[in-house]
Copies of this chain bind each other. A is one copy, B any other.
């Protein structure tokens, strides 16, 4: 594992636990096993470190989202696949997703603009699917904006309570959420077999792990 990854993991763990502002650069260094000055060499500073983490997290959500939309044009299937993708990503990388979700306000200038833009891109995927589902009559939605926001909050929440060593497997969690999402938008329940090819879920290099399993990605 590279030094930057080591640093990102340490940072994600601490940022998730205490928040960006309450975490010291020295503490990150200590957890990563590096001098805090070394950290500047690899990560470029505290805010750059956070921005890198969030780019990673949102980048993966975007990639998985695009993969989700690809195979089918059916809004119900697309929504189900979006939920599959997001839930799995959040479940497999909860701390990175927590940080990505909560610390946007800590960014400034270009970093802030870039991350907000990525987030907006991601949310617009849901928006467009919901819109098309309404137009085709597959969805029964009273208020598009409210539905989208409720749906997103619900899915984002996974990162904050799901524990991989708990009762539910990721696959089970996905099934539960697809069901909830279908109900929320008033669509028919989309089954797993309808959903087409499985979506790759990436185990992010920024996510702190005991041991080192799963599909690893350096992005």
The residues of A with any CB-CB pair to B shorter than 8 Å are: 17-22, 102, 105-106, 142-143, 146-147, 149-150, 152-154, 156-157, 160-161, 168, 173, 175-177, 179-180, 183-184, 186
Contact = CB atoms under 8 A, between A and B. Distances in A.
- Total copies of this chain within the assembly: 4
A150 B177 contact: yes
Contacts of A102: 102
A22 B176 CA distance: 37
A177 to B, nearest CB: 7
Contact of A173 (B22, B146, B179): B146
A180 B147 contact: yes
Contacts of A152: 157
Given A154-B153, A184-B184, A186-B183, A177 B19 contact: no
B176 A17 contact: no
Contact of A22 (B106, B147, B154, B157): B106
